[in-house]
Amino acid sequence: MTSYLQKAGTRLFEKNLEQYQPEDPLYEFYTDNRGKQRRRKRAIPPGLSARDVKILKSVQRRAHYLDKGFSICGLRFGWTFIIGVIPGAGDVADVTLNYFLVVRKARQAELPAWLVRRMLLNNAISALSGLVPVAGDIVMAVFKANSRNAALLEEFLRIRGEEFLKLQADKAQGKGQSVPQKDSQQVKPGAGMSDDAAATPPQQKMKFVSWSRPNRKEKECAPTPGEMGRFVEDVELGAAAPSGEAESSTTTRVQKR
C-alpha cells in the first residue's frame, strides 16, 4: 500500500512539474504503434542554411545537458543545478556557462536585439533565483533558462526557414516579394546562405603529354594514309613503288593538278 501511494505521489509530482518545465530542447517524445512512449531527436526546421543548422544543433545539445541531463523522481536537472549547489561560486559558474555556451552561441545566427534581450532576461531570472539557498536552486532547476533560450532560438529559426521558402516559391513563380520589408529585416530569411560551400564539379586530372618520347599506344596505332599529310603520302607512295611506276604516277598527278 505504501509503495502504491509513493508511485501515485511521484506521478502527480511529475504532472505538476510538467506544467512549469519547458520541453526538452534536444529530444521529443512520441507514442509508437504499441502504445509505448519513446523519444527521438527533434527535427530541424527546413529552409535554413548550414550555418544556422549547426548553431541550432549545438545550442540544443548544450541546453539539454545543462538542464535535463539527469532525472530523479520526475525532476529533470542538469549540470547547472549540480554546480549551483556550491554556494557563491556555483551561481557565478552557472551564469557564465549559461551565457557562453548557449546565448553567445545563439547570437552567431544573427538574432535581433529584442530576442537576445529575452534570452538574457531568462538568464537573469535563473541567476537571481539561485541566490536563494536550497529553494532557489530548485526553482532554477525547474525554470531551465537554457532550455527556454533554445526553444526561442528554434522558433525564430523556424520562422526564418518558412519565410525563406516563401521567397523561393515567389521567385520561382515570378511573383513579387510577399514577405513585408520590416519582417524581412527582422527575420533575415536566407541568412548564412553565403557561408555554404558551393558545389563545384570534380576537376579532371591533367594529362601530361611527353613531346620527346612517343607513348606506347602512339607506336602501336600508326596513322592511316588519309590522316597523314599530302606531301608525306606522295613520298611514301613513290618510295614504295618501283622506279618506273613512281615516275609515271608522279607525272599523272602533275598533269591532273
Q: What is the pLDDT of residues 233-255, one digit of tens each?
A: 444 444 444 445 444 444 444 44
Choose between 61 and 207: higher pLDDT: 61
* Confidence at residue 127, expressed as pLDDT on a 0 to 100 scale: 87
Q: Length of the chain in residues, anyone?
A: 257
Which of the four pLDDT bands, split at 50, 70 and 90, describes residue 193?
Answer: confident
* Confidence at residue 198, expressed as pLDDT on a 0 to 100 scale: 32
**DSSP assigned state of 101:** I
Q: Is the pLDDT confidence value at 95 over 80?
A: yes
How many Å apart are CA 14 and CA 126, to the nearest integer? 21
Lowest mean pLDDT among 74-83, 137-146, 166-175, 242-251: 242-251
Give the gyration radius of the chain's Cα atoms. Answer: 37
Q: Is the pLDDT confidence value at 215 over 60?
A: no
Which of the four pLDDT bands, split at 50, 70 and 90, describes residue 14?
Answer: very low
* Confidence at residue 180, expressed as pLDDT on a 0 to 100 scale: 77
* Confidence at residue 123, expressed as pLDDT on a 0 to 100 scale: 93
* Confidence at residue 225, expressed as pLDDT on a 0 to 100 scale: 53
How many Å apart are CA 223 and CA 103, to the nearest integer? 73
- Widest CA span in the chain: 128
* Confidence at residue 104, expressed as pLDDT on a 0 to 100 scale: 95
Region 130-146: mean pLDDT is 81
Choose between 253 and 172: higher pLDDT: 172
Number of H helices, E strands in the chain: 12, 4
Cβ contact 82:44 at 8 Å: no
